[in-house]
Structure 1
Amino acid sequence: MACPSSSMAMGENGEDEVIHVLAVDDDPVNLIILEKLLKASSCKVTAAENGMRALEYLGLLGDDDQHNTPNTNVPRIDLIITDYSMPGINGYQLLKKVKESAMLKDVPVVVMSSENVPSIINQCLEEGALKFMPKPLNRSDVKHLISQLP
């Protein structure tokens, strides 16, 4: 099942210029806050309440799992922001799946956590995370992150 998409924020340049972000966090309050911060930066946001839902949305689960074939019905994703500590599939495992996918490997992934553990931070960066950011994110963090996207 696909995750529900929230309403799209329209930028001055039209729909094609809107950055589509997949936001992943198992804490509903944190997910709502992240979604609001992203919308305030004129992003389209798709919210997933855990790593499993994110993988389902991206089409990286199921019988074709070993082929890493993304769901071709998914709209273009420009950025994935995920919590690190989640039950089931954590942020690092989600990052690995995305980076192993031929179709999604170039999508920037930002991992966020309230824990400041150097080994976890290094592990995520070595696996290809764009950034590892401390939680909670604030408006300036999000604006800076969005401005750095290609």
Structure 2
Amino acid sequence: MACPSSSMAMGENGEDEVIHVLAVDDDPINLIIIEKLLKSSSCKVTTAENGVRALEYLGLLAGDVQHNSPNTNVPKVNLIITDYSMPGMNGYELLKKVKDSAMFKDVPVVVMSSENIPSRINQCMEVGAKMFILKPLKQADVNELKSQLMHKRLSM
């Protein structure tokens, strides 16, 4: 089940700005590491142990009505980081469902994998992944993602 935890960062105007990241990985150890790295960068983190749980959290499962009608209970997510290789629904399938949704199509999705397979990387990038990161996720990767997100916010 998805479990939220939070941290805050102060914005330039003195208001609290929070980058909310949905982290998806079937390996609980990897999920803990990802969560710690993101929290150390002052991100709010929600974790999901598989693609179905992530879609459930976002309200994008076929039986949910959140994606078909306006709903104030839809979570605000600024970034999704997902493992590629997961049972049931892999990261590519999750990426496609997110990019096909009206609510979350503009949310950047980063796919991670311990396998450096060019065709897999290209496939994810073509469908709309922001980045493809080789595991293990490093603090430098998190810093780069956060920097890109903050730049995108400031330029809007």
Which of 7, 10, 13 pairs up with 1:12? Answer: 10
- Structure 2 unmatched runs, 5+: none
- Please give the residue correspondences for 1:56-135 in structure 2 after superposition, counting only pairs within 5 Å: 56-64=56-64, 68-69=67-68, 72-135=72-135
Q: CA deviation at 1:4?
A: 1.6
Give the Cα separation in 1 of the matches to 2:8 and 2:127. 33
TM-score, structure 1 as length reference:
0.91
Flag as ranges the 4+ runs of structure 1 deviating above 3 A.
67-72
SS at match of 1:56: helix
SS at match of 1:5: strand
- Pairwise CA RMSD of aligned residues? 1.9
Write the letter of the residue equivalent to 1:62. A
Identity of aligned residues (%): 71
Write the letter of the residue equivalent to 1:9. S
Deviation string, structure 1 residues 47-95 (Cα, Å, up to 9, x no partner): 0011110010011113258x95387413210000000000001100000
TM-score, structure 2 as length reference:
0.87
Give the Cα separation in 1 of the matches to 2:138 and 2:58. 26
Deviation string, structure 1 residues 2-28 (Cα, Å, up to 9, x no partner): 62201x112123674110000000000
- Structure 1 unmatched runs, 5+: none
> How many residues are aligned here?
147
